[in-house]
Structure 1
Amino acid sequence: MFRRFLAALLCAACPPLLAQNAIGFGPLDAYGTLQAGGVVASVSGDANRNASARLEWRMQGESSFRAGHPLARVDATHFVGSLFQLAPGRTYEVRVTLADPDGTGATPTRTGTFATRAEAGAFAPLRTLYVAPNGSDANDGTAPARAVKTVQRAADLARAGDLVSIAAGVYRESVRVPVSGTAAQPIVFRGAAGAVLDGADAAIAAGAAWNDAGSGVWSRATGFATAHVVSDQGRLFRYASLAELRTLAAGAPGGFFFDGTTLWLKFADGSRPAQRQIHVARLNEGFNLAGLNHVRVENLEIRHYGADTYGKGVYLRYSSDCSVAGNRIHDIGSAGVWIKGGERNLVEHNEIADTSIANWPWGLTKGGSAENNAVAFTDDVGRGNVIRRNTFHGTFNGIGSCGSAPPPNGFSNETDIYENTFADHADDATETEGYCANVRLWGNRIRDSLMAFAIAPAGTGPVWIVRNVAYDIGNTRSALVDGQSASGIKINSGYSTPVGPTFVYHNTFLTTAPATDAIWLMSPGYSSGMVSRNNIYAGTDRAFVKDNPIALDLDYDALDAGGQTLVWWQGTRYANLAALQAGTAQELHGIEAAPALAAPADGDFTPMQSSALIDRGLALPGINDGYGGAAPDIGAVERNDPVFSDGFD
C-alpha cells in the first residue's frame, strides 16, 4: 500500500548510487499516553533506505499479537509509529520486525512494553482550603468561616493533597503556585459556579471616568501597562498609533491604543465609555505554574489577561502531570493555555474562546496582536501531553501543537489531540508546525475555519490525521472577503525544513463555502510524503489541488467537486476520476461521488444507506480494526459500526 509513497521518499531523501548495506536494530522505545501509544525503533545501516518495519501489538495477557500500522521511516536512524484506541491504565506489548533486501543482522525482531496512563480517579483531599470574596488573608482558610480572601493566599498555604475551594465571586489577581503536589496527592484549585479569575482593572470595569478627545475617541491615564482591552461588545483591536485608531480600519466593535501612559479608545458605533462595560488588562496570567508537578486547575472562569503581548489564561512553564479541566477561558490576549516544555499535561473539557477576531481584516490580524491561540505549545515540548474534549471557538488559531525543539526525554513528542470541537478560526484550527514527531489528531470536529490542519512545516513526523471532520472550511471572512485560500490540509512553507511523513485516514473534508477546494496543497513546500486513504474530499470548486511538490500516495478516497475540474495536479487539469487515474496512477480504487451524508449542517456526517461511501474503503491494520460490513466505509463516520460512529471512542 505504501509502494509509491516509499519510492518517492527514498528518491527525495537519498543521493544516488549509495552502497547497499544491511539494517541493524538498535534500542526500541515504546511510550503510552491515555488512549494511544507510540513506538520508536532506532536503526543503523541501510544506506539506501529500502528497509521496512512491521508493527504488532497486544494487551498484556492476550495470547496473540495483532497487526498494527507499519512504522514510518522519519530519518536515517529512526522508524516511528502509533497505536490508537487503547484503554487507559493498561499494559501493552509491541513487537517490531525489520525487513531489508540487503539483510537484517542477527536481531531483526525486538519486543517492548509500555503502559497507558490511568484516568484520574475521584479526588479525596487531605485538607480543604476555602477562598471567598468576604474572607480575610489573615485567616488560615481551613473552614468556610475562616476563608481567605485571595486565591494567591490559598496557593501560598497549599501543600500536596489540598483542595483549594474557590467560592463564587470575581478575583482580580494573578496566581503563582509555589509548590507541587504528588501523583497520589495533587494540589487542586476548584471553582464553584460563578468563581471568576479576572485580569482586568477593577476601577475601569466599575465605570471610571474617561476624557473626551473628540471624533469618538476617549482617553484615560491608566497607571499601568496594558496590551489587551475587551468591551461588552467584544475584544477591541489593538492599534499601533493614535492616528490608526482614529481610522478604525479593523471595524467593529472598536479599538484602542496605549502610548505607555494613556489608553485611548474608540467604538465603531460611536458609543461613549459610560455606555459600555470595559475590561482593561492589567495582569498578564491567570495561573502561572512554573516547574511544578501534579497541580490541577478546575471549573473556573478565567478572562481578560494580557498586560503585555503574551497574555495567558493558564501558563504551564516546564510543568508536568498538571491538568486544566472544566474551565471557561475567554478573551485572553495571546493564549488560553500556554504549554512551554513539560510532559504529560492534560487539557480537557474546557471552553476556550475569543470574540471579534474572526470579523477583522486578515491584513491587520495576521502577524499582529490578534494572532492568538486557544492552546499554544512552545520550546522543547515534552512527551505525552493530551488535549481532548474541549470546545475552541473564535481565536485566530485553535491549537499550535508543536514546539521548536525535540523533547528533553526521548525522540518523539507523543502528543494527542482528540475529540475536540473547533469553530470560527480566522486561520488554522490546528497548527501542527515545528518539531512534531508522533503527533496524533483524531476524532476532532472543525467548522467555519480557514484551514483545518496546517502542517507547514511539521518536521520529523509522523503526523497522524485520523477520523476528523472538517466542515465548511473557507466559510470565513479571511477567505470570503479577504481572499485567503482555504484548505482542509495546508502543506506549504517558505522554510527548507521538510514536512515529515503524514498519514491522512478516514477524514471527512466537506465544504459548502462558495468556490472553495476541499484540499489545496499550496506551493512552496518541502516534504517527504503524505499517504491518504478512505477520506472524503468534497469541495464546491475542486476536490483536490496539488501545487506543492510533496510526494503523494492517494487511494480509496471519495472525490466530489462543484466546478469543471475534479483535480488540479501541478499544472494539469483532470475533469474526472478516470482522467486522474490515467494521468497520475493515483486513486486507482477511489470513487467520484457526492458523499450523501445524513445532515452535515446539523453535525451528522453518517453516510446514508444509499451512499456510495459504504464498504468502499480499505482495511488499515491498527486504524480501522473492527469495522462493520464487507469493508470500511469512506469518511470519518462508519455507518454500521458503533465503534466508529463518531470518531474514535
Structure 2
Amino acid sequence: MHYAARLLAFALLLTTVRAATIHVAPPPLGRPDAAGTADAPLASVQAALDRAAAGDTVRLRAGVYRERVAFKTGGRHNAPVTLEGEPGAILDGSYPVRIDWEPAPDIAPGVYRATVAEPVRLVTVEGRSVTMLRDDWVQPGRARHGADWEYPTLFRDGIAGSGWSGIRALSLYQFREKQLLLRLHSRAVSPDAPLSGEDTSVALDLDPRELAVTVGPPPDRPVVLIDGTDRCVVRGLTLRNAATGVLIRNSLGSVVEDCVIGPAEEGIILGARADRATLRFNEIFWNPWGENRPKAHASWDLWTANKRGGWSDKHGIKINGSLGGHRIHDNFIHHHWDGISVSPGDRGTDGGLRVHHNRLFTLVDDGFETNGAQEDCHWNDNLIDGALCAIRLKAPDYGPFYVYRNILLNNKEDLRNFGRKDNVHRRDPRTGEWKTTVTGKGSPEILPAVAYIYHNTGTSPAAVVSNAVYGIGVPDYHYFNNLFWCEVWWRGVPRANPSIPPNWKGDHNVYTRRGDNPAWAGSESQAHALGIDRHGIFTTGDPGFADIAAGNVSLRADSPARARGADLSVLFSKPLPGCEPGYFTGPAPDAGALAYGQALPQIPRPRTSIENESPPAGTWPDAETAADRPAKDSTRR
C-alpha cells in the first residue's frame, strides 16, 4: 500500500474510533454541566454542537428547544457533523419573550401593540403566519404605492379591493419605536373553505392575549446556521417560528434531510458559496393566515399585500449566489409563496442544479423560478399542484437548462416565459420618490438563453404564457413533446402591452381542447404561421387521461398523445437528459410526462425505494471531487 493511502486509511480509522454521540434533552433531564451521554444529557443544543468534532452526532430527545444554533466545526468526507432529532424534537427560533399586548385604538379598531426589543420578521398565531407590512414602505405621507398603502389605512380598511377577505390579519414591526402592531380582523382561512370565499364583512377582531402568538427574527438569523463549515447534516428535526429555517453558506457537501420546516418565510437558503448541498425528504411550509389558494376569491389580495406593502417573496428553498451543484429532491413544499427559486446571478453561480421528484402544493406565486445563469440546470419529474404559476422561466441568461417530465395540475398558469429582470426599490431621500432598478446581478439585458422544455404534462387554461417578453424574445427555447389540456395554445400578457408573438422553436406538442374558449379556433393556424408545431396536433378530443378528476394524468390506450412525439435522443446534436437512446418503445415516444403504461408516480418517492441511488449524508461529493473546491471568499460571509 502506498504511504498516502496508508495515511488515509489510518485517518479514517481514527475518525471511526473517535466518532461520538452527544445527547441533549430539555430540562430538568438535560443539565448545563452534564457529560452529554445518554444518561447525562446536556440541556443546550448549542453547547453540544460546540463540543462536536468530525464524525460526531448531536442527538436531541423529544421536546421543544428555544434556541437558534450554528455549527462551529465541520466534518470530513464520510465523517460529517450531524445534528439530528428523535421524533418530537423541535427547535423553535422565536424570541423567548413575554408579549404584553395592549389595545391600540389610536391606530385603528381591533389593533393591538406590544414592545419587542429585537426586530420581528415572522409573526405566527396558532401556527399560522400573519402578513407583515414593511415599515419603510407604508409610512404616512411617503408610502411606496400611495395613500391606500399607509399603515393606518391598511389596519383600518384592509387591502383595497376585498378589504379583509384575502388577508384576514396584518402585522407591522416599527423599527424605530421597537413596537409590534397586530390586527386579527377575521379567523384564519380554513383549508376546507369554498373557493368563493367566506364572509368577512363583520370584524371579529380576535384578542391576541387569548391566542398562541410567536414573534421571530429576520432571515439572517436562521434556526440553524451552517457558515464556513463543511459536511454538516441536519436530520429529523422540526424547525419553526423564525423567518429562516436553515441558512447554508461557505459550506461544501452539507445535507438537510427528513426535517419539518415551518412556519418559516424561507425554509432553506443556499447562500454565498454553498457548494453541492443535498436537500431531500423535507416538508416545508409558510402556512399563511390569509387565503393562499390562487383560484380562491380574494387570494390576489394576499399577493398584493405582500408585494406592495410587505416583505415581498418568500421561498420554500432559495438559491442565491451559491457555487451550485446542489441535489434537491423528494421534498414536499406546501402552503407557501414560492416553491424553489433561483435568484439573479452571474455565470458560475447557482449552476448544475438537479431539482427532481419534489411535490409543490398550494402556492401564492410560483412553483419554480429559473432565474440567473441557469447553466446545466435540470428541473424534472416534479409535481406542481395549485400554484399561481407552476414554472416561471424567469429571464435566464445563458443555460442550457432542461425542464422535463413534470406534471402540472390545477395551476392558473403552467409555463410562463417571463421577460423582466428582478428589481430593487429605493426611495430618494431628497425627492421622496421611489425608484426602481434592476438588481445588478446577472445581465441587465435579456439574453437568448438556451432552454429545453419537453415531455411535460400541463392542464392550465393557456398551454404557454409569455409575460413581458419583448425585444429578442426567446429564440433559443425549445418546446417539444409536451401534452397540454388547455383552452388556448398561447397567451401574451400584460394586456396593456402584450408580449411579442412566440419565436421559440417547438414541434410535436399535443394540444387538446378543454372548455369552449373561442380563442381556441385560431390556435393551430397561428402556431403554424409562426413556424411552430407543424407536426404537432390540435384536437378537440379527450386528452386520454386515466382520471383527471382525481389528478391521474397517466394515459389511456386511446389517448391522442400516443406516439406523437419526436425521438429526442437524435433530434438535437446529442440526446436530451432523460431521453437517451431506447427511452421509449413503439414507433415514436408518447407526448407528455408519462408514457402509456406508466402509472402516476408517488411524489415524493418512498425513501426506501431509492436508498441505492441516494448516497449517505457526508459521502457526497467524494473526496477527490471535493478537492477541486475553490477557496472560501471570506468577504461574502
TM-score norm. by structure 2 comes to 0.72
Residue 221 of structure 1 pairs with residue 112 of structure 2? no
The one-letter amino acid paired with 1:259 is: Q
Task: Give matches, 1:530-609, under 5 Å.
Answer: 530-539=477-486, 541-545=487-491, 547-548=499-500, 551-561=503-513, 562-564=515-517, 575-577=522-524, 579-580=525-526, 582-593=528-539, 594-609=542-557
| Residue 40 of structure 2, aligned match among 146, 159, 162 | 146
Matched with 1:287 is 224
Matched with 1:129 is 22
* Counterpart Cα distance in 2 of 1:161 and 1:238: 41
Distance 1:373 1:421, change over 3 A: same
Matched with 1:399 is 340
| Residue 259 of structure 2, aligned match among 327, 330, 334 | 327
Matched with 1:636 is 593
CA shift for structure 1 position 448? 1.1
Q: Deviations over 1:79-137 (max 9, x none)?
A: xxxxxxxxxxxxxxxxxxxxxxxxxxxxxxxxxxxxxxxxxxxx998210001102122
CA shift for structure 1 position 303? 0.8
Structure 1 range deviating more: 339-348 or 638-647: 638-647
| Residue 102 of structure 2, aligned match among 199, 211, 219 | 211
* Counterpart Cα distance in 2 of 1:196 and 1:392: 19
Residue 353 of structure 1 pairs with residue 321 of structure 2? no
The one-letter amino acid paired with 1:192 is: E
SS for the counterpart of 1:264 is strand
Matched with 2:630 is none
* Alpha carbons 2:76, 2:231 under 8 Å: kept: yes
CA shift for structure 1 position 563? 4.2
* Counterpart Cα distance in 2 of 1:256 and 1:450: 24
Distance 1:337 1:194, change over 3 A: farther
CA shift for structure 1 position 403? 5.1
SS for the counterpart of 2:49 is helix
SS for the counterpart of 1:361 is helix
SS for the counterpart of 1:575 is helix
SS for the counterpart of 2:340 is strand
* Counterpart Cα distance in 2 of 1:456 and 1:555: 22
* Alpha carbons 1:399, 1:429 under 8 Å: kept: yes
Greater strand share, structure number: 1
* Alpha carbons 2:418, 2:466 under 8 Å: kept: yes
Q: Deviations over 1:446-479 (max 9, x none)?
A: 11111121122111111200100111221xxxxx
SS for the counterpart of 2:248 is strand
* Counterpart Cα distance in 1 of 2:129 and 2:601: 39
| Residue 313 of structure 2, aligned match among 366, 371, 391 | 371
SS for the counterpart of 1:376 is strand
Q: Deviations over 1:452-507 (max 9, x none)?
A: 21122111111200100111221xxxxxxxxxxx3423332255232411101100
The one-letter amino acid paired with 2:522 is: A
Matched with 1:165 is 59
* Alpha carbons 1:426, 1:449 under 8 Å: kept: yes
SS for the counterpart of 2:394 is coil
CA shift for structure 1 position 614? 1.3
CA shift for structure 1 position 564? 4.6
Q: Deviations over 1:327-377 (max 9, x none)?
A: 111121344334332211000000111122624433222263141001111
| Residue 342 of structure 1, aligned match among 271, 274, 282 | 274
Distance 1:353 1:499, change over 3 A: farther
The one-letter amino acid paired with 1:361 is: L
* Alpha carbons 1:155, 1:176 under 8 Å: kept: yes
Unpaired stretches in structure 2, ≥5 consecutive residues: 1-15, 139-150, 187-204, 293-298, 422-443, 493-498, 570-574, 611-637
Distance 1:393 1:644, change over 3 A: closer
Q: Deviations over 1:210-247 (max 9, x none)?
A: 21223211122123221210101621111246513333
Matched with 2:169 is 254
CA shift for structure 1 position 173? 1.2
Q: Deviations over 1:293-323 (max 9, x none)?
A: 11100111111113xxxxx210001211000
Matched with 2:393 is 455
Task: Give matches, 1:411-560, under 5 Å.
Answer: 413-474=351-412, 486-493=413-420, 496-511=445-460, 516-525=461-470, 526-539=473-486, 541-545=487-491, 547-548=499-500, 551-560=503-512
* Alpha carbons 2:68, 2:222 under 8 Å: kept: yes
Matched with 2:239 is 302
| Residue 276 of structure 1, aligned match among 198, 204, 211 | 211
CA shift for structure 1 position 643? 12
CA shift for structure 1 position 163? 0.9
Distance 1:435 1:140, change over 3 A: farther
| Residue 614 of structure 1, aligned match among 562, 566, 585 | 562
Distance 1:363 1:560, change over 3 A: same
* Alpha carbons 2:278, 2:326 under 8 Å: kept: yes
SS for the counterpart of 1:271 is coil
* Counterpart Cα distance in 2 of 1:536 and 1:632: 12
The one-letter amino acid paired with 2:171 is: F
Q: Deviations over 1:33-66 (max 9, x none)?
A: xxxxxxxxxxxxxxxxxxxxxxxxxxxxxxxxxx
Distance 1:585 1:566, change over 3 A: farther
Matched with 1:14 is none
* Counterpart Cα distance in 1 of 2:508 and 2:312: 40
* Counterpart Cα distance in 1 of 2:410 and 2:534: 27
Count of aligned residue pairs for this structure pair: 491
The one-letter amino acid paired with 1:280 is: V
Q: Deviations over 1:170-211 (max 9, x none)?
A: 11111111111011211111111111111113344xxx5421
* Counterpart Cα distance in 1 of 2:467 and 2:170: 34
Task: Give matches, 1:64-75, under 5 Å.
Answer: none
SS for the counterpart of 1:606 is strand
* Counterpart Cα distance in 2 of 1:564 and 1:527: 26
Matched with 1:235 is 129
* Counterpart Cα distance in 2 of 1:460 and 1:542: 29
* Alpha carbons 1:443, 1:647 under 8 Å: kept: no
Q: What is the Cα-based RMSD across aligned positions, in Å?
A: 2.6
Unpaired stretches in structure 1, ≥5 consecutive residues: 1-122, 307-311, 475-485, 568-573
Distance 1:548 1:296, change over 3 A: farther
CA shift for structure 1 position 382? 1.3
Task: Tell which has more relative contact order, 1 or 2 (C-alpha 8 A, sep 6+).
Answer: 2
* Counterpart Cα distance in 2 of 1:459 and 1:200: 38
Structure 1 range deviating more: 224-233 or 144-153: 224-233
Structure 1 range deviating more: 528-537 or 518-527: 518-527
Percent identity at matched positions?
21
Q: Deviations over 1:388-420 (max 9, x none)?
A: 010111221111135512337xxx821111010
* Counterpart Cα distance in 1 of 2:479 and 2:527: 15
SS for the counterpart of 2:82 is strand
Distance 1:342 1:282, change over 3 A: closer
The one-letter amino acid paired with 2:588 is: A
* Counterpart Cα distance in 2 of 1:397 and 1:223: 30
CA shift for structure 1 position 581? 6.0
* Counterpart Cα distance in 2 of 1:416 and 1:165: 30
Matched with 2:145 is none
The one-letter amino acid paired with 2:316 is: A
The one-letter amino acid paired with 1:265 is: L
* Alpha carbons 1:334, 1:369 under 8 Å: kept: no
* Alpha carbons 2:488, 2:523 under 8 Å: kept: no
Distance 1:498 1:177, change over 3 A: same
* Counterpart Cα distance in 2 of 1:643 and 1:500: 32
